[in-house]
Amino acid sequence: MSAKAPLNQVTLNPLDLRDQEQFITANQTAFNYGALEEFGLRDDHFEEDGNVISRDTIREAISAGTAFRIIADGKPAGGVVIRTAETGVTWISSL
Q: Counting Cβ atoms within 10 Å, is residue 28 exposed (0-12), middle (13-18) or buried (19+)? A: buried
Q: How much is the pLDDT for 54? A: 87
Q: How much is the pLDDT for 16? A: 93
13 in helix, strand or coil?
strand
Listed as ranges, residues in the chain with pLDDT below 50 are: none
